[in-house]
Amino acid sequence: MSASSEAINTAHQRGHRMRNLTQSVVLIGGMTVLMGFCAWLIWSWAGVFWILISLSLLLYLGQRAVPPELVMRLYRAQPLSKKHGHQLYRIVEILSQRAGLPKPPPIYVIPSLTLNAFATGRVEKASIAVTEGMLRKLSMRELAGVLGHEISHINNNDLSIMALADTISRLTQAMSFAAVFLAILNLPTLFTGDWHISWTAILLLYLAPSIGSLLQLGLSRTREYDADLEGASLTGDPIGLAAALRKLERYQGQFWEDLIFPASRRIPQPSLLRSHPDTEDRVARLMELRGKTPFPQIEIRDEPLVTLVGFGPISMRPRFRWSGLWF
């Protein structure tokens, strides 16, 4: 690749990242303003101050109270055996080195035939989980694309960003419920003429969680585009990730929408309510990266993978668990 072509490709990727970063900042800012506005409607400026303090405290406690190991236990995930998964470990080591992570995240296998993968934790201490179904259905090249996507989420700190968005959304929803409940309690004052509550404020508080959810979904789609771009750059193989996306779409419809936030559920049409972008749109963007990645393609031998956790298909039927997780 010539120096001029490399410079053009680097500028192309930088433009993608800057656009996605700008969208993320705008969406997070919009959610924060919405949350603050709800607090202001209920408690004036003192409410804005205390809701921001509460947000900071919840984020601080949440990041330290939920280690990756606990999440893996909730999914009954087991550490991947290096004996059977040595090539996957090699791929993760190469991707982590290219991404500049402090250390390669450990890989866990979830005993489920659904096609799913996700990352959890922080940049300093993260883990990646893949289901048995994913290991059986995808080729090693496609798995490398998925792992690159997840490592990109870790490297871009998407897990913390989406945790922030989720916390803001939940606080907004809690204030909405509290406001509506207080309005119901004060209904008798409507008949005595002592009603001093604004119906406009109640309506805004009632609609705030829906607006916040739309902003959160938009943020999720933006981070997915960015993870696709960087994941394909790390593997040097955008076609591998594109093939994985198409196969996941074919086998499980839109189950790719649970790759990073497994507790969320897919909302069908319209596309505005999807947590992840349309698969064909993602594939089209990946195809634009052919020959434009900064790293060479990882050399992969397509070795057969045996059952890595020792469970048969019956015990791996997807179902709703007591923890509220579907796998």
Q: Is the CB of residue 112 less than 8 Å from the CB of residue 131?
A: yes
Asked if residues 327 and 252 have their Cβ atoms less than 8 Å apart, the reply is no
Cβ contacts of 222 within 8 Å, gap of 6 or more: 20, 23, 24, 27
Peptide bond into 270 cis (omega under 30): yes
Q: Between the ranges 81-85, 102-106, 131-135, 245-249, where is the mean pLDDT highest?
A: 102-106
- The conformation of residue 317, written as its DSSP 8-state character, comes to -
**Maximum distance among all Cα pairs of the chain, rounded to whole angstroms:** 81
With beta carbons less than 8 A apart as the criterion, state whether 141 and 305 touch: no
Sign of the Cα torsion 35, 36, 42, 47 reads: positive
- Quick check: 270 pLDDT over 60? no
List alpha helices for 66-99, DSSP H.
Answer: 68-74, 86-99
Residue in 150, 224, 230, 257 annotated catalytic: 150
The verdict on whether 150 is a catalytic residue reads: yes
Which of 1-15, 67-81, 311-325: highest mean pLDDT?
A: 67-81
**pLDDT category, 279, cuts 50, 70, 90?**
confident
24-to-21, 122, 238 alpha-carbon distances in Å? 5, 18, 23
Question: pLDDT of 127-145, one tens digit each?
Answer: 999 988 888 888 899 999 9
**Residues ≥6 apart with Cβ < 8 Å to 63:** 122, 160, 163
Burial call 199-218: b when 16+ CB within 10 Å, e when fewer: eeebebbeebbeebbebbbb
pLDDT of residue 113: 81
- Which pLDDT score is estimated for 7? 40
Distance CA 228, CA 153 (A): 9
